[in-house]
Amino acid sequence: MKTLGAVLAGGRSRRFGSDKAVAMLDGQTLLDHALAALRAHCDAVVVVGRKGGIADWPRPDMGPLGAIAGALRHAAANGFGQVLTAPVDCVRLPADLRARLGPASVFVDTQPVVGLWSVAALDALQAMLTGEDDHAVRAFARRIGARAIAVNFALPNINSAEDLARLADGAG
């Protein structure tokens, strides 16, 4: 089954204080790091929520679920069966991530935006986003019966310049 990788990069970076996607780490933007991290696990990779990328659905500012919906819609229209998602600040992923996550739908319990989502879940997600449902990733996961998995690795989560500095120093 073909897997589309989707970097969720449409957030406002309020806590970070500037556009997190273009922040630099080891000479590359966080966006470039996140794309490279996903490429190792996917047949193709896209950016969601940024100009020139895939649009959030049904509109911008829907949070991670809007980005996941945009990615699932793109995947469905282009022959992919599943989407592996990661936020723009998740610049490192373990080499065996796909083996840990498969089969879809499943997500990392400590960071639910890192997940492998079946394209078959698109209708349920679109219904959530056009209704009055809770728009949290965990609510979506419950609705479709996705499994949460515990992992023994720490995924980067960069919410401030200090977090980025710690990661650059090897402490994050």
67-111: pLDDT as tens digits:
999 999 999 999 999 999 999 998 889 888 888 888 989 999 999
pLDDT at 141: 97
Q: Are 3 and 83 in contact (CB under 8 A)?
A: yes
Pairwise CA distance, residues 130 & 52, whole Å:
24
98 close to 3: Cβ distance less than 8 angstroms: yes
Q: Fold for 3-166, please state it.
A: Spore Coat Polysaccharide Biosynthesis Protein SpsA; Chain A (3.90.550)
Strand partners, 73: none
- Tens of pLDDT along 13-25? 667 666 888 889 8
The reported pTM is: 0.93
Size of the chain in residues: 172
